[in-house]
Amino acid sequence: MHPIRRPPRRGFGEQPATLAAIQNLFARGEQGGYWPADPAYAYEDSAGTIPASRDGVVGLLTNAVTGYPNAIQATTANKPYLRRTPATGKTWYDSNTATGALNVTFASALGSSCTIATVTPEGVSILENKTVGTTYNICPPYGYNSDVLIINRALTPAEKALVTRVMQRDIPAYGSLVNAIPQMRGYSANNEMQIDWSTKTSFIDYWRYGGNYLSSFPLINTAAGTDFSFAWYGCSGLTSFPLINTAAGTNFSAAWYECSSLTSFPLINTAAGTNFSVAWAYCSGLTSFPLINTAAGTSFYGAWYGCSGLTSFPLINTAAGTDFSYAWYNCSSLTSFPLINTEAGTSFYQAWNGCSGLTSFPLINTAAGTSFDAAWSTCSNLTSFPLINTAAGTSFYGAWYNCSSLTSFPANFFDSWTGVPIANCFSLTWDSCIKLTLASVQNIVVSLVVSGKSAPATGTDISLDGAPTLVAIQADTTVMTAVATLKSRNWTPKYKGTAL
Amino acid sequence: MWTERLPLAIPIALIDAANQLGAIIDPDTGGDQTFSLDQTIADYVVAYVPFTEQMRAVVIGRNAAHWQAAINQRAAEKGMEPLPMETIEALRAALLCGDEVAALSEP
């Protein structure tokens, strides 16, 4: 699995946590994939250059977890249409001709122990011990073609439950004689002002599903609310949000996920909040964020994922935060980042991936961090990087991948490294950092030597790149002396893809 | 904007030429599998093809000059060899569209 992931064209259809969970099914190199019924993954042409549109044809559907193979149809006559169900707005692929197909071509046959999960009008179907050859049509003629997941092994009961939970969101609901959606938004009727909310503690999913009918939200009494997870999930029509009472709220997971029309957010009381995972993910209309109280927050997983309109970020209290993975992924308009407290953070997996507007990065405390995979990948405007403490790190896979303006990388970065390196821990780490100076390359390899660490049993690459030519690197005594030592410790240093 | 599928039918004997035409006018890289022997009615191969509105108008208009111009233009855009004029004309003359295809199934 390639850990450096770019979001699909129009944003994740899934919450990052969900997609990551599906990705984990393939973490041991399993073959197969997951092709969601989500326009974010669909293209009109088989080359994947033209986004598919409603009632238009689909020539390519991206594999959302393993990156390949995609599902492809290059002959227009055989392409399905991208449809949406009228009542609940579910995306599906209408292969309404006998030759209809979106074909997946695997590198080799997947064998006879495959699990195939699909969405049917009546639920999620999980077929076991199925044989899958080198090609598979995920969009057969004349059916309700929605999400498809294929994996070349059996799933555990827990994994089946996960797959069911994820895929059941695309089960279509049959429309009734009277379309009740405008009157019934999600689980909550359109009667907020007529009922007493004051004793309600859980608002899970309340205005989710059908939330796009919600253009404004009243100031109801939510003082007793503790769980606001998924409450306004997908309310993409909301342009403003009131200052509700959330003082008792502990769980804000996905609460405002994809409220993409919000341009500002009120200074609500989140002092008791511990779980902020994907809370404001894809709130792409926000340009600023208030200084809310997040002192009790432990999970900031994907909290501001895809908030691509944010131009600044406040110095919030994140002292208790342990999980910062994906937290600011693709916040591409941020030009600076505050010196927040991340001393308890253990995972920074892809935390700032795609923050392409950042020109500098603060000296945050990352001493407890173990995963830095793709943490600063594609921060393409960073020119230097501070000497942060990553001593406990076990993997830096793609950590500075495609930091294409980075010239300066500090000395002594790995001198005190105590973490246990895992396979591929330095694969793609500095790949496409095409402006790194010779001194920076020296700093990296010399510091890795000082660390005294030997390579893991597999995945021993140290991927380097920079401004100097390969010849110049090979002629540099400092680099090559360090490289010799690293090779004696079973590392495989590479420069611009060539083993040194 | 894509139209709903337009039924097209060509005599089985012309399937190779029809698929050459399909490869030219298909906006994607395929098109050479537009017609298949797996899908026939009587002595015709049938395909149910989504079109852009402009191309649909050209196809169903079956105007000889418009066909020649549109097909040659598409071939040039895709860097493909244009079909001989007589092949285009044979296909145009033999093509059934829409309700004409449905009529093939009638007793």
Q: Which domain holds residue A123?
A: 19-168
With CA atoms as reference, the chain A residue closest to B50 would be A77
Give a yes or no: residue A97 inside a domain.
Answer: yes
* φ, ψ for residue A162, nearest 5 deg: -60, -50
What's the pLDDT at A190?
65
pLDDT one digit per residue (tens) for chain A, 500 residues? 343 443 333 333 444 557 778 888 888 888 999 998 888 889 999 998 898 988 899 999 999 887 789 999 999 999 999 988 766 778 889 988 889 999 999 999 999 999 999 987 778 889 999 999 999 999 998 878 899 999 999 998 888 888 888 888 777 764 444 444 444 555 566 667 767 788 889 888 788 755 667 778 888 899 999 999 989 988 888 899 999 999 999 999 999 998 999 999 999 999 999 999 999 999 999 999 999 999 999 999 999 999 999 999 999 999 999 999 999 999 999 999 999 999 999 999 999 999 999 999 999 999 999 999 999 999 999 999 999 999 999 999 999 999 999 999 999 999 999 999 999 999 999 999 999 999 999 999 999 999 999 999 999 999 999 999 999 999 999 999 999 999 999 999 999 999 99
Nearest by CB to residue B28, choosing from A46, A53, A81, is A46
Is there a contact between B38 and A79 if contact means CB atoms under 8 Å apart? Answer: no
How far apart CA A289 and CA A302 sit, in angstroms, is 15
- Kindly report the nearest CA distance between residue A52 and chain B, in angstroms: 11
ipTM of the complex: 0.91
pLDDT recorded at residue A206:
80
A385 occurs within a structural domain? no
Query: Is residue A83 included in any domain, yes or no?
Result: yes
Phi, psi of A153 (to 5 degrees): -160, 170
* Interface touch B29/A78, C-beta < 8 Å: no
DSSP A384: B
In this structure, is residue A94 part of a structural domain?
Answer: yes
* Predicted pLDDT of residue B102: 82
Distance of CA A119 to the CA centre of its chain: 23
> So what's the pLDDT on residue A3?
35
Tell whether A211 is covered by a domain.
Answer: no
Query: A99 lies in a domain?
Result: yes
How many domains is chain A partitioned into structurally? 1
Rounded average pLDDT over B8-17:
96
pLDDT score at A5: 44
Residue A42: inside a domain, yes or no? yes
- Tell me which H or E stretch contains A498: strand A498-499
SS3 sequence of A179-217: CCCCCEECCEECCHHHCCCCCCCECCCCCCCCHHHCCCC
Residues of B in contact with A46 (CB under 8 A): 28-30
Q: With respect to residue A319, please indicate whether it lies within any of the assigned structural domains.
A: no
